[in-house]
């Protein structure tokens, strides 16, 4: 998986808020928006430590606000001292609570792919402890030597961890059923296990089976690290484009509703890429030209019909129709979040001062 030369510290300063070059956990690479309730709602936040605002995509109105936390699917888990609280973000309801050790305090670091368990961690000088806490009661503990461990994912009995080294990091698999750490790190069969580069964004397939992480290289290259959480396997897929790190930061990821395809779109390089999730390869790739773009982290959202994708660099909006290899530019617009109305009659845009506006007409219709 060693696809890039090590990224210089100055490049890390360009990462999304809270990101670092050690790993890409929900605490540093989690997205700023989530589509909920099968596309009927949009949840938006400024950062992982900020409240979550849930918007009705039918009307553009704010439905409710939830406390900061980690989101998986329609579930949000919030920590307040020793109390963990589960919320159904699609209804605003509180659905469960659990108590964790407060002194020394465990910190919430992740949520299972089903949303029913939370992972809290305590890092000390010579050890790291992860507690897997169930919403329905019960805790499972995984203790590891050293302090260079961080959470990546939890699916079934397997806890996926990141082990950090001086020049990179590896993905390790811990079996909670047997309390054992798999001896060998996960790796692409075609490559080594060590990952280099800067983690920049992550996305999960709708069914929770796959976790996708975008890594950027100092020379402007990028790759997708695809983690199959059911099979315990990892794959690396290179993305097109080199030579411009600012352009590389505009990549955005959006999985298809059926989980078969991961779309990666980049206005800086002018690329639309479709990755076949099962085959772990690029199955479609075409170029487009834009007049202006900004070196900001990209956001993309797929229309309910699956045939169109809206994406932005925070200052411009484009609409892609992959079947026609076409990209249409909309008028410039400040954007912090995007969401299609369920009937595709409009594209809702969250912009300056968190105002929600209706982008219409949609030129691709």
Cα–Cα distance for residue pair 133/204, rounded to 1 Å: 21
pLDDT score of 362 = 52
- Report the alpha-carbon distance of residue 276 to residue 235 in Å, rounded: 12
Distance CA 244, CA 218 (A): 9
pTM attached to this predicted model: 0.90
Per-residue pLDDT for the chain (365 aa), expressed as one digit of tens each?
A: 445 544 433 343 344 433 344 566 666 677 889 999 999 999 999 888 899 999 999 999 999 999 999 999 999 999 999 999 999 999 999 999 999 876 678 999 999 999 999 999 999 999 999 999 998 778 999 999 999 999 999 999 999 999 988 888 899 999 999 999 999 999 888 877 888 888 899 999 999 999 999 999 889 999 999 999 999 999 999 999 999 999 999 999 999 988 999 999 999 999 999 999 999 999 999 999 999 999 999 999 999 999 999 999 999 999 999 999 999 998 888 999 999 999 998 899 999 888 999 987 555 44
pLDDT for the residue numbered 30: 74
Neighbours of 205 (CB within 10 A): 22
C-alpha to C-alpha distance for 302 and 299, rounded to whole angstroms: 11
How far is Cα 280 from Cα 277, in angstroms, rounded to an integer? 5
Q: Which of 276, 196, 186, 269 is nearest to 237 (CA)?
A: 276
**Which pLDDT does position 21 carry in this prediction?**
44
Yes or no: say if 215 and 222 are a contact pair by the CB < 8 Å rule.
yes
Tell me which residue has tokens 């809270």. Answer: 18
> Pairing relation of β-strands 299-302 and 33-36?
unpaired
Spatial strand order in the sheet of 347-350:
337-340, 347-350, 356-359
Structural Rg of the chain based on CA atoms = 20
Of 226, 253, 200, 222, which Cα lies nearest the Cα of 33? 253
- The count of C-alpha atoms lying within 13 angstroms of the C-alpha of 202, restricted to the half-sphere facing its C-beta, is 23
pLDDT in the model for residue 169: 86
Q: Residue 284: which of 318, 309, 248 has the closest Cα? A: 309
Nearest to 36 by CA among 96, 89, 113: 89
Domain annotation for the chain: domains and CATH numbers: 9-359 (2.130.10.10)
CA distance 357 to 359: 6
């Amino acid at each position: 998986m060693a696809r890039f030369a090590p990224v210089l510290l100055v490049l890390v300063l360009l990462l999304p808020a809270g990101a670092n070059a050690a790993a890409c956990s929900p605490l540093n690479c989690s997205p700023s928006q989530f589509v909920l309730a099968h596309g009927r709602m949009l949840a938006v936040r400024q950062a992982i430590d900020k409240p979550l605002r849930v918007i009705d995509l039918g009307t553009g109105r704010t439905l409710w606000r939830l406390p900061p936390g980690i989101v998986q699917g329609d579930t949000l888990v919030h920590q307040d001292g020793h109390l963990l609280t589960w919320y159904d973000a699609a209804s605003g309801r509180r659905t469960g609570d659990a108590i964790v050790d407060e002194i020394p305090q465990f910190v919430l670091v992740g949520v299972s792919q089903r949303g029913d368990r939370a992972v809290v961690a305590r890092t000390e000088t010579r050890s790291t402890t992860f507690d897997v806490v169930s919403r329905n009661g019960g805790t499972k503990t995984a203790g590891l030597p050293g302090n260079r461990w961080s959470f990546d994912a939890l699916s079934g009995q397997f806890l996926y961890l990141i082990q950090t080294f001086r020049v990179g990091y590896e993905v390790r698999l811990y079996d909670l059923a047997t309390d054992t750490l798999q001896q060998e790190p996960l790796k692409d069969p075609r490559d080594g296990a060590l990952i280099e580069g800067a983690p920049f964004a992550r996305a999960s397939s709708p069914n929770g089976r796959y976790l996708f992480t975008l890594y950027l290289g100092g020379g402007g290259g990028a790759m997708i690290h695809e983690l199959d959480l059911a099979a315990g396997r990892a794959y690396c897929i290179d993305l097109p484009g080199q030579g411009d790190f600012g352009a590389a930061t505009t990549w955005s990821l959006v999985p298809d509703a059926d989980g078969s395809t991961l779309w990666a779109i980049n206005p800086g390089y002018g690329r639309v890429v479709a990755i076949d999730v099962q085959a772990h390869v690029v199955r479609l790739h075409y170029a487009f030209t834009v007049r202006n773009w900004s070196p900001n982290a990209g956001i993309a959202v797929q229309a309910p019909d699956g045939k169109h994708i809206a994406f932005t660099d925070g200052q411009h909006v484009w609409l892609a129709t992959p079947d026609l290899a076409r990209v249409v530019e909309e008028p410039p617009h400040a954007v912090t979040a995007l969401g299609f109305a369920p009937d595709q009659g409009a594209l809702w845009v969250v912009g300056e001062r968190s105002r929600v506006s209706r982008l219409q007409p949609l030129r691709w219709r």
